[in-house]
Every structure is written in structure tokens, then in C-alpha cells.
Amino acid sequence: MLCAIGFNAKTMEDVKIMDNKQKGYSITELMVVVSIIGILGVIAVPNFVTSVSTYKLKNTSVDLCSNLRKARSFAVKQNRNVAISFNTDAKTYSIDSGVPVQLEAGVSFGHGNATSTANSGESIPSDGVSFAAEKATINNQGISNAGYVYLENDKGETYAVGVHTSGRIVLRHWSDGSWH
């Protein structure tokens, strides 16, 4: 019956001996798999490491933009002025003298590789904050003094979070030599 399925073993003992020889993987097969995993790791790890820096910058910029919008909403709701202060040395900002918000590791105030401002007609601020006295003030109508906060990472990538005099809050990214 064993020969009927194309098996050339003569006895059941031959089958057991062949089964024992067939168990496991050869060292060559294991080395091929380990080599493939190593090559994939060499390709993937640098891409992952560089994308973490970009992710932190974008995340910090979006958080700042969101917090500015909350501050504007709070100013209108509470019918009073709300101040957002930026401390470029400590890499923090605070809303209404509250608990300072720390920028993520690897992110700082600065213009990175940007060669022009997000708002034409201004010069690039050396400290990354174009608000007068490093402070944005939003009044009870949601109107603010105009300015931008520039955030950079260690790769020179740059985001700008701006507040227009109308109270409009914008997030822009420097890419390919211009703001988007």
C-alpha cells in the first residue's frame, strides 16, 4: 500500500528512519532566513529612525496649533484675554501662565532649512518666534496680535504655526523651497 502513493520504503521501520532524518531545518536554511531578516533590518531601521524625528516635529506642531485654537476658544468663552508665552531657551510654551508645555525631544524653536518666512514681508526670527515679546495675546473676540512660531527638528525640517490678526490659526510646512 505504501508503494501505491509513490513511497519507496519497504517496511514500516524504513518509514520511521526516514521520518527521523526529515525533522528540523538544515543550517543552510537557517542561515538564509537569518540573512534575509538581517538585510530587511538594515533597510528598515534607518528609515524608521529618520521618520521618528519627522513624526515628533509634526506631532509637536499639531499640538501647538491645537492648543492655540483651544486658547482662542477659551478667550471667547470666558470673555477675556488669554496670553500664550513662548520660552525659547527652555523649549516650552504656556497658556495663561499655566503649566509650561515642553516641546518633544529633538524639536526646538527655530527656522531649520527654511530660507523665507511663512508670512511674506517679515524677516526670519533668530529665536523662532515672531510674536512681539515672544507672546501671543488673544482677546475676548478671538482676535490676536499676528505672528508665527517656527519649530525645527535635528534634520532641519520646519513647521510654522501662525496666528493672523483675525484670529485665524494656520499650520504650514517648509518643503521643496517653499511653505505649504
Query: 132-165, pLDDT tens digit by residue?
Result: 999 999 999 999 999 999 999 999 999 999 999 9
In a domain, residue 171? The reply is yes
In a domain, residue 3? The reply is no
Indicate if the alpha-carbon torsion angle 56, 123, 96, 171 is positive or negative: negative
Looking at residue 9, its pLDDT comes to 55
Q: How far is Cα 95 from Cα 75, in angstroms, rounded to an integer?
A: 11
In a domain, residue 14? The reply is no
In a domain, residue 12? The reply is no
Which CATH number fits the domain that encloses residue 66? 3.55.40.10
Looking at residue 13, its pLDDT comes to 60
The mean pLDDT of 98-117, rounded to a whole number, is 94
- Domain containing 40 equals 26-179
In a domain, residue 164? The reply is yes
Query: Residue 178: which of 139, 120, 129 has the closest Cα?
Result: 120
- Give the CA-trace dihedral at 55, 102, 83, 118, to 10 degrees: -30
Q: What pLDDT band is residue 169 in, cutting at 50, 70 and 90?
A: very high
Looking at residue 6, its pLDDT comes to 53
Looking at residue 58, its pLDDT comes to 96
Residues 6 or more apart in contact with residue 32 via CB below 8 angstroms: none
Looking at residue 52, its pLDDT comes to 87
In a domain, residue 7? The reply is no
39-74 pLDDT, tens digit each: 887 787 776 666 888 999 999 999 999 999 999 999
pTM of the predicted structure, to 2 decimals = 0.76
Grid cell locating 179: 511653505
Looking at residue 42, its pLDDT comes to 79
Average pLDDT, the chain: 87
Looking at residue 25, its pLDDT comes to 82
Residues 6 or more apart in contact with residue 156 via CB below 8 angstroms: 112, 113
Size (the chain), residues: 180
Between 25-29, 95-99, 151-155, the lowest mean confidence (pLDDT) is in: 25-29
Q: How far is Cα 145 from Cα 153, in angstroms, rounded to an integer?
A: 26
pLDDT higher at 108 or 21: 108
Q: What pLDDT band is residue 21 in, cutting at 50, 70 and 90?
A: low
Indicate whether 118 pLDDT > 50.
yes
Looking at residue 1, its pLDDT comes to 47
In a domain, residue 13? The reply is no
